[in-house]
Amino acid sequence: MKTQRWMLPLGMIAVLSFLLLTILGKFLWPGYNPISSYISELIADENPHVHLMRTFMNIYTICFCLFIFSIAVHAFRTYHVSSKIGYTMLFVVAFLSVIGYGSVPISMDFIFSANDIFHFIVTICILLITILAMIFIAVGYLRQEHLNTMGKISLTAGILFILFNAYHIVAIVTGQNILGLIQRLTFYSFHAFTFSISWIYTFKSNRW
């Protein structure tokens, strides 16, 4: 248990690293528009500060993987089966992110390149698994009375995540030039969940 406790604050560190990526990315790249441009463009080869941006992304990925691993292990010891399934699925998401985004470089040169198709498939898989994971986690927490607060946080974040993703599809179909903004709202809803759960586990010892 002690070997996993040090991993609990890593969820917050992961979120802060992601925020630095998205905020600094805008200021360091004057031509980048966060309203219309996806976050993935910040770690594309064309970004003049790509190495710094990828450093933030790597910190986020490593911290998130370790955090989810620690929670998943804890869930298998004490939580409802739904929470076990949910956190296992989130760990799969983290693994897919490492393999899918880390092993194949992103470029903005070719809109329909093999890399773009690969990233699209990985992204769809990650979104679908994340939605299912958050539903399972929320159900698992809500079935245990002393975990109702975390259940409500998980459910709220999950609903927002689904709604923003649904609107993302509508925006694409209707040609709205705010895809970057919608993607940020989607990610931030999930990261609010990550930060909140990490905070509770780190500073509320009775939860562990």
Beta-strand ranges (E) seen in the chain are none
Residue pair 15/156 in contact by the 8 Å Cβ criterion: no
- Split at pLDDT 50, 70, 90, the class of 115 is low
- Closest among 148, 182, 180 to 165, alpha carbons compared: 182
**Residue 110: pLDDT over 50:** no
**Residue 12: pLDDT over 90:** yes
- Split at pLDDT 50, 70, 90, the class of 66 is very high
- List the structure tokens of 129: 């698994």
Q: How far apart are CA 110 and CA 100, in angstroms?
A: 18
**Prediction pTM value:** 0.85
Residue pair 120/160 in contact by the 8 Å Cβ criterion: no
* Mean pLDDT, all residues of the chain: 86
The per-residue pLDDT for 96 is: 82
Q: How far apart are CA 24 and CA 90, in angstroms?
A: 27
Highest mean predicted confidence (pLDDT) among 65-74, 104-113, 116-125: 65-74
The per-residue pLDDT for 126 is: 87
The per-residue pLDDT for 173 is: 92
Q: How far apart are CA 170 and CA 185, in angstroms?
A: 15
The per-residue pLDDT for 111 is: 52
- Split at pLDDT 50, 70, 90, the class of 179 is very high
The per-residue pLDDT for 205 is: 55
Q: How far apart are CA 129 and CA 52, in angstroms?
A: 29
Over its C-alpha atoms, the chain yields an Rg (Å, rounded) of 17
CA-angle at 139, arms to 137 and 145, nearest 5°: 105
Residue pair 126/93 in contact by the 8 Å Cβ criterion: yes
Residue pair 198/12 in contact by the 8 Å Cβ criterion: yes
Query: How many residues are given for the chain?
Result: 208
Q: Which residue has the tokens 């409802």?
A: 80
- Split at pLDDT 50, 70, 90, the class of 101 is low
The per-residue pLDDT for 113 is: 62
**Residue 61: pLDDT over 70:** yes
